[in-house]
Amino acid sequence: MTEERTKAAEFSYPIMIDYYKILMKRGHAQLNPWGFLNPLQPLVWFGVWLTFCMACITLALSRLVLQWERLPITSNIMVALRCSWDQLVILLQQTLQSIPNTLASRAMIGLWLLTVMVIMRSYSSALTSLLAVRYIPVKINSLRDLIDEKEYGLIFEKSTALTTYMKGSKKGIYLELEETKAQGRAQFLKSSEVLNAARTLVKHEDYALLVEITTIKKILSDDFSITGSCDYYIAKENFFPLIFCVIGRHGLHHMPFINYIIQSMVEHDLYSNWLNEEFINVTACLKAPISITVKEPYSIVGLWGMFTLLFVGLMLAALTFLAELVVHAWIKNKENPTLYPGVIFLRHQFFKLYR
């Protein structure tokens, strides 16, 4: 029902109210190599890091303040590093090598230990479950998402209330939908061609079909009856409501009788029951999940993110170890120049470069 159509014909009592939705092909379940970060949200990770820094700074300052004699700067740095290392040991659930003597420091470490224990136990239990779950990527859940995804084509049924409204739009989301026609993204098909387009273009290529929910139910039911699988995804957003009626010329004498029949049919929910008989298998795919649980051994494809993190950590540890060796040799060479002749050569080359 539109304003232009009410001028040309008389509409009966509404039979049903429907909405447009977006129908696309269903993606394939993918492994997430960085899934070990999923048990905790970014804000929680930031909170753990911030708490770790606060614990390190607090314990380091308390230990430095309690030093009665003035220590050299290198000793102060070593004390701060030792405090930070102890808190990192707690975070990694390892054994502390030393325990502070003061009651305040012990209370601080106890609170930090309790916090880490709760977070890490929750993390480990959630990680075990998440590694067995594979997620189906969803790019489009609204008209805005569809317009922004330039690689997707749009399929409309021609000569509908939606296409008429799009042509008359001066601004907003429906004007942007109309502009997709000029961009070469939109196709307008006859009503008899919509079902075939859903089975071919939408199911196997990057196309989105914009039709009412009733048509989508018909597509899902027929496809599941043939294939036994759910190959389509329905976007969450409802848009552009539709009112379905019976039309006739203005002043039609039979219209009051038609309205009475339609009202009685709607009140007894007969029309909905008739539709449900046509969509016998629609409930199997109407709310298909976007995550599935698998029972199979873990592979390197799904865990390479953790191995990458391990490799980067080992490389940083190796570089730090080499830097410590070089610094140690540099310091010892000042005391005994003949002990590390290679360091003398490197030092001379360094001074030549920056002289």
- In order, the DSSP letters of 59-119 are HHHHHHHT--SPPPHHHHHHHHHHHHHHHHHHHTT---S---SSHHHHHHHHHHHHHHHHH
Alpha helices in the chain, H assignment, sequence order:
3-8, 42-65, 73-91, 103-130, 143-148, 161-168, 173-182, 191-197, 203-204, 213-227, 255-267, 270-278, 300-335, 341-354
pLDDT at 273: 86
Contact 157, 218 (CB under 8 A): no
pLDDT at 153: 92
- Nearest CA to 64 among 54, 77, 53? 77
43-49-54 Cα angle (round to 5): 120
Distance set, CA 127 to CA 68, 110, 130, 245, 311 (Å): 47, 25, 5, 53, 21
Domains in the chain: boundaries = 3-30+136-249+275-293, 36-134, 300-354
Q: What is the pTM of this model?
A: 0.63
Length of the chain: 355
Overall fold of domain 3-30+136-249+275-293: D-Maltodextrin-Binding Protein; domain 2 (3.40.190)
Positions in the chain whose pLDDT score sits under 50: 68, 353-354
- Nearest CA to 34 among 131, 167, 144, 150? 131
Buried b (16+ CB within 10 A) or exposed e, 146-163: bbeeeebbbbbbeebbbb
pLDDT at 353: 47
Q: What is the CATH architecture assignment of 36-134?
A: Orthogonal Bundle (1.10)
Is 145 buried (19+), middle (13-18) or exposed (0-12) by CB count in 10 A? middle
Q: Enumerate the β-bridge partners of residue 135.
A: 30, 291
Residue with tokens 């480990």: 124
- Nearest CA to 167 among 154, 185, 180, 153? 180
Residue with tokens 């739009």: 169
Helical (H) or strand (E) element with 187 = strand 186-189
pLDDT at 281: 83
Alpha-carbon Rg for the chain, nearest whole angstrom, is 34
DSSP state of 21: E
Domain 3-30+136-249+275-293 matches domain 36-134 at the CATH topology level:
no
Amino acid present at 152 = Y
Contact 183, 146 (CB under 8 A): no
Close Cβ partners of 225 (under 8 Å, ≥ 6 residues apart): 280, 281
- How far apart (Å, rounded) are the C-alpha atoms in residues 144 and 141? 8
Distance set, CA 315 to CA 85, 91, 109, 327, 329 (Å): 19, 21, 30, 18, 21
For residue 239, the SS3 value is strand
pLDDT at 202: 92
